[in-house]
């Protein structure tokens, strides 16, 4: 199938699964994950209406920067502190913030370069911290740190569910994330604005949406298997 058909099919599946939670199609943001995808296909995806693209490496974002014109970029991979200053201006959301030192570097570069960073806290909901993501216990202190910053705003949470055979096995993790999201939303933050819950990839996005995801990050189901 071509990219156009893949996008249509994924959107239909998104709408159906989101409706089960009570979300409307416009409540959900689809991120097209373009890591390893070459520039021509990225341009094609943008022409077909894709607006938000996700990449997991700063170097690759920079290399393909031209192709992303007209789209919003999302940083979804582990981010080293020394790469923060290289993030292209088209990055609208840094989804993989999982430690204080990274928040502090974003704030420092924000002040220095007069930039603002919107971020998600990446949460290691299954306790697989070696893969990235903060432990659940660290969420309050990271949110408090972000709240006190002037050039960083936390917009919610991101998670990558563990690799499992059947997506149903991840439902428990998505449920836990939604609960954490709701709980932290009741805290009266002034600057933090917790309205994004980014969870669900090609193999598990329907389960994630049924459990209340507002953003899904999809590569393979749109572009095919990565080599
Ligand atoms: C690669 C990647 C995705 C997309 O994965 P697919 O299985 O190809 O849909 C989503 N989120 C993150 C953080 C990724 O690294």
Which range is least confidently modeled, 21-30, 101-110, 183-192? 183-192
Convert the pLDDT of each residue in 145-179 to its tens digit: 999 999 999 999 999 999 899 999 999 999 999 99
Residue nearest to atom 6 of ligand 1 (CA): 219
Task: Tell me if 201 CB under 6 Å of ligand 1.
Answer: yes
**Summary mean pLDDT of the chain:** 97
Read off the pLDDT of each residue in 41-58 and give the average, rounded to a whole number: 98
Instruction: Quote the CA–CA distance of 57 and 227 in Å, as a whole number.
Output: 16
Distance (angstroms) between ligand 1 centre and the Cα of 48 equals 20
Read off the pLDDT of each residue in 129-147 and give the average, rounded to a whole number: 94
Angle between helices 171-185 and 139-147 (to 10 degrees): 40
Q: Among 204, 15, 210, which residue's Cα sits nearest to residue 219?
A: 204
* Burial track 113-130 (b if 16+ CB lie within 10 A, e otherwise): eebebbbbbbbbbbeeee
pLDDT band per the 50, 70, 90 thresholds, residue 131: confident
Other C-beta atoms within 10 Å of 67: how many? 20
Distance (angstroms) between ligand 1 centre and the Cα of 73 equals 14
pLDDT at 111: 98
Q: Is the pTM of this model over 0.85?
A: yes
Residue nearest to atom 12 of ligand 1 (CA): 76
Is the model's pLDDT at 188 over the cut of 90? no
pLDDT at 94: 98
pLDDT at 12: 98
Read off the pLDDT of each residue in 129-153 and give the average, rounded to a whole number: 95
pLDDT at 129: 75
Task: Tell me if 217 CB under 6 Å of ligand 1.
Answer: yes
Report CA 129 to chain centroid distance, whole Å: 17
Instruction: Quote the CA–CA distance of 220 and 224 in Å, as a whole number.
Output: 5
């Amino acid at each position: 199938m071509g990219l156009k058909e893949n996008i249509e099919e994924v959107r239909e599946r998104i709408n159906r699964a989101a409706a089960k939670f009570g979300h409307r199609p416009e409540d959900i943001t689809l991120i097209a994950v373009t890591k390893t995808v070459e520039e021509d296909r990225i341009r094609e995806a943008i022409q077909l209406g894709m607006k938000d693209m996700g990449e997991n490496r700063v170097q690759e974002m920079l290399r393909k920067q031209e192709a992303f014109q007209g789209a919003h970029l999302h940083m979804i991979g582990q981010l080293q502190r020394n790469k923060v200053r290289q993030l292209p201006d088209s990055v609208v959301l840094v989804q993989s913030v999982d430690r204080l030192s990274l928040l502090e570097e974003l704030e420092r570069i924000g002040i220095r370069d007069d930039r603002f960073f919107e971020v998600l806290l990446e949460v290691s909901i299954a306790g697989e911290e070696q893969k990235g993501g903060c432990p659940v216990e660290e969420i309050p202190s990271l949110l408090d740190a972000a709240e006190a910053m002037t050039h960083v705003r936390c917009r919610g949470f991101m998670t990558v569910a563990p690799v499992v055979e059947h997506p149903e096995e991840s439902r428990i993790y998505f449920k836990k994330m939604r609960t954490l999201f709701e709980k932290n939303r009741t805290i009266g933050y002034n600057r933090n604005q917790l309205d994004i819950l980014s969870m669900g990839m090609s193999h598990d996005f329907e389960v994630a949406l049924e459990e209340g995801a507002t953003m899904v990050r999809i590569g393979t189901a749109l572009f095919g298997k990565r080599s």
